[in-house]
Structure 1
């Protein structure tokens, strides 16, 4: 079954469809990871987006039960150079095509992903459509230019009700803006008593759970589309230790008076070097974001920059000067990607322990 990939700038690609036969519209982004496609496709931060994978062969080790970052994938579609029809791996349970068919997600293969990525790098992220070969490109292009992408992605992927993930250690309230399961896994691994709460929980809701610390998760979209979360974070500052990841990092910055801005094409991949300004060490990190904290705006806050991206100099970490709170733009839980920064979870728990010890004095 042949399909078209049509961009709002008028570019048309013809390829082979797989997965769902439906049409889809979304923001087209690219990820440079060589492995980890299952984690990428199930990352809620891709809600509303059509993902291009730059590595030429995808699906060769199939889909397994263990590597999901969410139960229900939120990605709008997938673009690849080649989709393996017959995966080979001892953990494989189904092919990429079968998985996409079951989840009603359309994909397109046989596309020149190198050319597509160069277009995105030159012009920035674009709206695009995956549709059948019979659709009129002119009609689709007009529709794309008139389409306004949704701004409620966090609401779409966040849990609707609070739920526990019990442990016997520190109680951590994890605010779900589109949480990857890897974050929960790392907290469980450290025996934390975790309570996951919806994105629109208030500071009072969270404090009523008597947390030792609060974690702000990753998630999709523009942080300025989640004003209720900014108010919630303001209400928590100085009352409980905070650790934010990705969207949580951006929301924390807004709550502290800094500004965020959309990047041209963002950071999406598993090999991004980040420098710790305190130690001088460089970590190779997993990243997935299309917005960044404006560096100039930080100078008007009580925040300090702790980490920088070596590829483009953008902010990758912040810490509050007066209260126990720090954030990173990248993913210390990785999945997929290197685990260089995994120790940040231990840093968070050490911060909690220190605050409890000081409070007991």
Structure 2
């Protein structure tokens, strides 16, 4: 069945339907990873986005995971050059009502996104669709749609385990899994939870998760979070990294075409060591907006020099732009847990 990827400027890319044949509009982005296709499609940070895979053959690394407890795809749609039928990606997308298109010259699509930056498109059955309302990638809608609906409490084996409150901005399951592996007791709360309710949970540490969209959409919530950051050790990851910087007076901006993939090189400032990291974001903290008396930049992106990690000089705050669960994040997370435990000892013995 014929399908088309049509950009908002009218350029058309023909192909063939996969997944559910229904019209869907969204911001068109691309991911550069060579593996991890299901993880890309299930990442909530792709909410509202049509994801183009730069790797030419998708679905050839085995079937997509299915069954109870497996996260559904969260992207608006997918664009691939060639699809391996044995991987059942098309059937999996169709099961969840997600449209896609194959047989597309994805190299041309990526070049267009790189040249145009933020640009929207629609997967459709006609080369001349009428889109009544294009989705706004800067809207708070995407965080609202991906945050947890209610509070979740997860116990730990040890009664001495640190209690962390995870403020969910639309993060993926890997962040929570990492906290559980580290032996933490975790309470997950929706991003809109009033600060007073967060304090009542008596957190020993706060973690602001990754998520979709523009960090400046969360500006109305920063005033309520700021007092917490002065009292409670906090770590930001992905979108949470950008939000912590905004809350402490810095600014953010949109990247030309985003960092999406599991192969992004990041340099640790202190050691000069370069790590390959997994990332999924379209915004960055503006380096010149950081007060050098307050912030230390701990990590840079090798390719464009953008800020990838921060540590506050006066407050127990740190943040990383890349995902938890890889070696580049271990030192940052260990420092965060040290701050949590140190404050706990002060409260008990002080």
TM-score w.r.t. the length of structure 2 is 0.93
- Confirm or deny that 1:318 pairs with 2:318: no
**CA spacing shift, 1:67–1:358, aligned 2, 3 Å:** farther
The equivalent of 2:154 in structure 1 is 165
- Confirm or deny that 1:102 pairs with 2:95: yes
Tell me if structure 2 keeps the 8 A contact 1:187–1:345. Answer: no
Tell me if structure 2 keeps the 8 A contact 1:318–1:328. Answer: yes
Shift of residue 179, structure 1, vs aligned partner = 1.4
**CA spacing shift, 1:51–1:136, aligned 2, 3 Å:** closer
Shift of residue 83, structure 1, vs aligned partner = 1.1
- Confirm or deny that 1:115 pairs with 2:108: yes
Deviation readout 1:252-311 (Å, 9 max, x if unpaired): 011000000111111111111111112222211111110111111103772221111110
Tell me if structure 2 keeps the 8 A contact 1:259–1:293. Answer: yes
Match of 1:282 among 262, 265, 274: 274
Distance 1:252 1:158 in 2: 18
Shift of residue 8, structure 1, vs aligned partner = 1.4
Tell me if structure 1 keeps the 8 A contact 2:26–2:135. Answer: no
Return 5+ residue gaps in structure 2 as ranges: none
Tell me if structure 2 keeps the 8 A contact 1:201–1:232. Answer: no
Q: Secondary structure at the match of 2:342?
A: helix
Tell me if structure 2 keeps the 8 A contact 1:229–1:251. Answer: no
Match of 2:134 among 147, 150, 164: 147
Shift of residue 16, structure 1, vs aligned partner = 1.0
Tell me if structure 2 keeps the 8 A contact 1:56–1:80. Answer: yes
Tell me if structure 2 keeps the 8 A contact 1:309–1:315. Answer: yes
Q: Residues 346-361 of structure 1: matches in 2 within 5 Å?
A: 346-359=334-347, 360-361=349-350
Deviation readout 1:182-239 (Å, 9 max, x if unpaired): 1111110111110000011232211110111010000000011112432233021121
Deviation readout 1:99-118 (Å, 9 max, x if unpaired): 11110000100000011101
Distance 1:258 1:194 in 2: 29
TM-score w.r.t. the length of structure 1 is 0.90
Q: Residues 193-204 of structure 1: matches in 2 within 5 Å?
A: 193-204=185-196
The equivalent of 1:92 in structure 2 is none
Deviation readout 1:98-147 (Å, 9 max, x if unpaired): 11111000010000001110111111131000001xx252x44xx37x62
Farther-moved stretch of structure 1 (302-311 vs 103-112): 302-311
Q: Secondary structure at the match of 1:312?
A: coil
The equivalent of 2:76 in structure 1 is 76
- Confirm or deny that 1:241 pairs with 2:233: yes
The equivalent of 2:8 in structure 1 is 8
The equivalent of 1:62 in structure 2 is 63
Tell me if structure 2 keeps the 8 A contact 1:257–1:301. Answer: no
The equivalent of 1:268 in structure 2 is 260
Tell me if structure 1 keeps the 8 A contact 2:25–2:135. Answer: no
CA RMSD of aligned residues (A): 1.9
Shift of residue 323, structure 1, vs aligned partner = 1.2
Q: Secondary structure at the match of 2:86?
A: coil
Q: Residues 6-45 of structure 1: matches in 2 within 5 Å?
A: 6-45=6-45
Q: Secondary structure at the match of 1:346?
A: helix
After the TM superposition, list the runs of 4 or more consecutive aligned residues in structure 1 that deviate by more than 4 angstroms: 65-68
